[in-house]
């Protein structure tokens, strides 16, 4: 996900791993071929999984937009108290900045964190996104990278962080290893630090690069609490219901997480989080509605998912000119009441 509504990912021709029971692989264009790249069997006794954060709904807030999103105002209007702030990227070298430009302490949304906590809320801060340079590609060593991530953790006294890895960053194996080693160091320095990965997905599941990233993280000692899938922007070959696609993607991802992270069936479900793009998506014809949100909440309750989110809180309102066919950064482009998606998805409490 990026700081604008028009995100373009280089995942359309990437191989996708389907649900193991289906025995198929799919490509972004919708073609299926026989076989499975999931060769490693899950262990007989899975270790206890890290517990994801307690918040059932944690919408993304795009910190790059003005005016700044009102966190505490949303708390008062909806009761939703937990938010994911996006994104921290390289501000030149191994220096974390909001959107690659804003100093840590200077962001107008981040400055609301103390007031949000006073109101009983909290934040998860996300590193990466579709735009800019993720810090793992800018820092030269795992220790330097851990220090860069740690600046944000210490600045905001974070207990939850997210790593949104997509586009050209996803297949960068050297950066993925450096990131995993840095996160493992960070978790040793900050015991109990909750770590999630946000990854691109299709209805058939994560890409092979996404699965490889999770396996690499486990091998390097990262305690992964959640795998958050971007249930959006599938491509022109997909013409179905966006709510159904989201649940299909979550189901496929659960099977992949179970194998890649060595989780039990129940723990694998508790590791999956889902983030739809509300309203009109970047791909024409893809529209996620409030009814889809309600259906996703029902599914999340039945499977006890880690959490739900949405891209983004800033878009949760009707556009001034009414519904349209194009995605906008500050409105949903569908007919809706203000905060309709926040209220619908906020019904999931984990």
By annotation, the residues acting in catalysis are 166
Q: How many angstroms separate the CA atoms of 148 and 270, rounded?
A: 29
User: Which pair of structure tokens corresponds to residue 122?
Assistant: 């909290």
| All residues at 6 or more sequence positions from 138 whose CB lies less than 8 Å from its CB, including other chains | 90, 93, 94
Query: What's phi and psi for 225, nearest 5 deg?
Result: -90, -30
* Nearest residue to 303 (alpha-carbon basis) of 271, 334, 329, 275: 271
Q: Is 224 exposed, middle or buried (0-12, 13-18, 19+ CB in 10 A)?
A: buried
**Residue 149, helix vs strand vs coil:** helix
Is residue 272 within 8 Å of 306, Cβ to Cβ?
A: yes
In this structure, how many other beta carbons lie within 10 angstroms of the beta carbon of residue 228? 30
Q: How many angstroms separate the CA atoms of 142 and 186, rounded?
A: 10
Q: How many angstroms separate the CA atoms of 100 and 102, rounded?
A: 6
State the angle between helix axes of 208-219 and 173-189 in degrees (0 to 180), rounded to the nearest 10: 40
197 conformational bin, left if phi > 0, alpha if psi -120 to 50, beta if neither? beta
Is residue 224 within 8 Å of 50, Cβ to Cβ?
A: yes
């Amino acid at each position: 996900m990026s700081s604008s509504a028009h995100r373009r990912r280089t995942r359309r021709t990437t191989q996708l791993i389907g649900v193991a029971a289906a025995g198929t692989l799919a490509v972004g264009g919708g073609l299926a071929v026989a076989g499975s790249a999931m060769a490693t069997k899950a262990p007989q006794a899975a270790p206890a999984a890290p517990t994801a954060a307690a918040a059932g709904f944690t919408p993304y807030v795009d910190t790059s937009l003005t005016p700044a999103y009102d966190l505490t105002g949303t708390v008062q209007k909806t009761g939703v108290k937990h938010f994911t702030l996006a994104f921290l990227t390289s501000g030149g070298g191994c220096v974390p900045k909001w959107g690659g430009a804003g100093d840590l302490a200077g962001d107008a949304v981040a400055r609301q964190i103390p007031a949000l906590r006073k109101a009983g809320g909290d934040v998860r801060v996300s590193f990466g996104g579709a735009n800019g340079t993720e810090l793992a590609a800018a820092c030269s060593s795992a220790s330097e990278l851990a220090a860069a991530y740690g600046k944000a953790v210490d600045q905001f006294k974070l207990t939850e962080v997210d790593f949104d890895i997509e586009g050209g960053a996803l297949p960068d194996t050297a950066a993925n290893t450096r990131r995993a080693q840095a996160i493992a160091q960070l978790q040793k320095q900050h015991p109990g630090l909750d770590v999630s990965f946000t990854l691109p997905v299709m209805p058939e599941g994560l890409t092979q690069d996404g699965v490889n990233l999770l396996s690499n993280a486990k091998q390097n000692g990262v305690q992964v609490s959640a795998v958050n899938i971007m249930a959006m922007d599938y491509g022109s070959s997909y013409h179905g219901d966006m709510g159904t696609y989201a649940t299909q993607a979550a189901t496929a991802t659960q099977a992949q997480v179970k194998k890649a992270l060595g989780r039990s069936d129940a723990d694998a479900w508790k590791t999956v989080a889902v983030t739809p793009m509300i309203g009109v998506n970047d791909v024409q014809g893809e529209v996620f509605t409030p009814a889809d949100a309600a259906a996703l909440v029902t599914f999340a309750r039945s499977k006890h998912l880690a959490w739900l989110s949405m891209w983004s809180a800033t878009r949760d309102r009707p556009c001034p000119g009414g519904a349209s066919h194009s995605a906008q950064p500050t409105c949903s482009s569908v007919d809706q009441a203000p905060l309709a998606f926040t209220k619908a998805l906020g019904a999931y409490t984990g």
